[in-house]
Structure 1
Amino acid sequence: MVDNTQIHLATLKRLEDGFYRDYQVDIDHGSPSLVLLDVLYRAYTDALMRFSHCYVFRFRVRIPNKQRQQEGTILNQWFYRLCHYRRNDNLNVIWKREVVQSGSISYRITLFLDASNYPPIINELKVRKRLAKDIKHSWAKTTQIHKQDANELCIFLNQPLFILNKSDEDYQFQRGYLFYVLSRQAHSNTEVTNASSTLGAFISKSRSKKQNNRKRK
């Protein structure tokens, strides 16, 4: 019978080769933390199990310097407010906390938006613009800053929505590619002593298609 020590050593060996579970991870741009990868894997799996078809939107939000002591409360309240703004949508979020030398705190956000309530053909630019608008407004409201100042605290990647759809032929590749990209958030130059304050996830309450269709009429 294989004990836990042998399993752990085998996992570390695979990680050295650039693999974790059934995914390839990025080992060229840093050293992945097994603890953070565990958190990332669970959050990523939860999102994919919940949404067979979803849009993935990535961005960064920064905590105002004068509010660093309340960062945890701010992040939680922001997601609650964003869910209110997007009350017809189902959302999953993976967040990664980052601190620069100046002490500035920011969070990398990966947002999974349930696509099952959207038409097969969407205006991708329109969806992105509306998401960015709701994110900036909810962040400004949560941090009590002017909406114009939110432009400096909310940074969006100039990339199209990433689409994950189980019915697509390239789904397995796309799923693996996105995890590879997100695995960079599990890099750490030091031993991780508190993973829960470094990387985590939020999940909105589920809304059925019937509820959403009724509200959109």
Structure 2
Amino acid sequence: RRFPNCYVFRFKLRVPKAYQQDANKKLNKWFYYLAKKIPVSEAINMIWAKDMSDDGSVFYHIALFFRAPKDATEQVALSAKAFFTKTIKATWPHILFISDSNADSLCSFTTANIIPLNPSKKSYNQDARYCFFILSKLARKSRYPTNNLDDVFGIKYSRNPNKRRNRSE
């Protein structure tokens, strides 16, 4: 509801074994660092689900939500995807204090395109299900050893540039 017309960008971030103790803290720090790297007029939301691979390393399934222009075209979506791919590949290794040359092994961009989420489209329910419900299902089936759902699933919000604050209070 925060973005009536938005793009959803899905990807995975891998956490090297040396950082698995505080992986959620690193993800939180990365998200707010990423939010600072995008244009000031933009706010982003993130939903994440944590999982463990067969080799025991932790990774996150992530969906980033950001505002789409009303006159969005395929070219605008491709430009947004290129921008976020480049920015994510630069910021995740930076937060982990790892060389940028490792970015390809840490970041996986599996979806071909950014998914437009527009309530006026007929495919909205299907698109929303694809973006939201898959992540919550992944969190419930996570192989990460915990009994606390908050350890394997979360939501983050960046600043909202449209919100006006009353500074007189």
Q: Specify if TM > 0.5.
A: yes
Match for 2:12 among 54, 60, 70?
60
Task: Check whether the contact 2:50–2:139 (CA below 8 A) recurs between aligned residues.
Answer: no
In structure 2, the CA distance between the partners of 1:189 and 1:203, relative to structure 1 (3 Å rule), is closer
Structure 1 stretches of 5 or more lacking a match?
Answer: 1-48, 210-217
Paired AA for residue 51 in structure 2:
E
Match for 1:105 among 49, 52, 58?
58
Counterpart for residue 81 of structure 1? 33
Match for 1:205 among 145, 159, 162?
159
Q: Measure the CA separation in 2 of the matches of 1:62 and 1:189.
A: 15
Counterpart for residue 95 of structure 1? 48
Counterpart for residue 24 of structure 2? 72
Structure 2 stretches of 5 or more lacking a match?
Answer: 164-169
Paired AA for residue 4 in structure 2:
S
> How does 1:1-217 map onto structure 2 within 5 Å?
49-88=1-40, 89-116=42-69, 119-121=71-73, 123=75, 124-188=77-141, 193-208=147-162
Give the alignment's TM-score, normalised by structure 2.
0.83
Q: Which moved more, 1:147-156 or 1:180-189?
A: 180-189
Q: Measure the CA separation in 1 of the matches of 2:78 and 2:141.
A: 34
Give the alignment's TM-score, normalised by structure 1.
0.66
Shift in Å at residue 180 of structure 1? 4.6
Q: Which has the larger radius of gyration?
A: 1
Q: For the aligned residues, what is the CA RMSD? A: 2.4
